[in-house]
């Protein structure tokens, strides 16, 4: 399994939620796979990405317990939005890093795709506060759908780009 496949599979676990309020497959397992995959990549920003992925894993672990999950599920939008910010920051930084790596090898297709994903993460991060300020439940619904579509688009592109030279595992020397 290539490093990007490990990261993508981890993000599938993170993005996959069960029906209802309680997530039977903890997101921290997915973040563990992400960290494992990132550890093998040759990206210059690898240490930053490992740090933010670890923070995402810690946040997901804290929210996974039912004593925390229930109150958070019923909490105000601001708290839910704040808890999603580490994930969105990871998406932005990881996409930007992959876009730079792809551009460095002349792979304009994936450089553009990952660049768009990075900027979409910024837009998705801004949507909930804008929807709350506008008191628009419709816009809030669009923000939720956008968040899910962003995960799907990132995961799809990670699987598509997994065999590219800039995504190869670093030497283990």
Q: Is residue 173 part of a domain?
A: no
Q: Which of 60-83 are b and which e, b meaning 16 or more Cβ less than 10 Å from the residue's Cβ?
A: beebbeeeeeeeeeeeeeeeebee
- Report whether pLDDT(146) > 80: yes
Residue 119: inside a domain: yes
Does the residue 172 lie in any domain?
no
Residues 84-129 pLDDT 10s: 999 999 999 999 999 999 999 999 999 999 999 999 999 999 999 9
Residue range 21-46: average pLDDT? 89
**Count of domains forming the chain:** 1
Range of 132's domain?
3-167
The pLDDT value recorded for residue 173 is 43
Residue 153 inside a domain? The answer is: yes
pTM above 0.75, yes or no: yes
- Indicate the average pLDDT of the chain: 89
Q: Classify residue 63: in a domain, yes or no.
A: yes
Q: Has residue 52 been placed in a domain?
A: yes
């Amino acid at each position: 399994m290539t490093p990007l496949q490990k990261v993508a599979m981890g993000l599938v676990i993170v993005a996959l939620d069960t029906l209802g309020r309680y997530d039977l497959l903890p997101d921290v397992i997915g973040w563990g796979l992400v960290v494992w995959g990132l550890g093998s990549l040759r990206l210059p920003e690898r240490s930053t990405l490992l740090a933010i992925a670890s923070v995402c894993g810690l946040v997901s672990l804290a929210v996974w317990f039912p004593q925390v999950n229930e109150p958070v599920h019923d909490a105000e939008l601001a708290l839910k939005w704040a808890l999603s910010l580490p994930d969105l920051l990871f998406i932005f930084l990881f996409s930007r890093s992959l876009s730079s790596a792809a551009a460095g090898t002349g792979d304009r297709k994936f450089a553009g795709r990952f660049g768009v994903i990075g900027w979409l993460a910024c837009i998705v991060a801004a949507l909930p506060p804008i929807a709350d300020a506008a008191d628009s439940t419709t816009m809030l619904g669009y923000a939720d759908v956008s968040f899910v579509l962003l995960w799907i688009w990132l995961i799809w592109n990670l699987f598509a780009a997994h065999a590219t030279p800039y995504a190869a595992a670093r030497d283990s020397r």
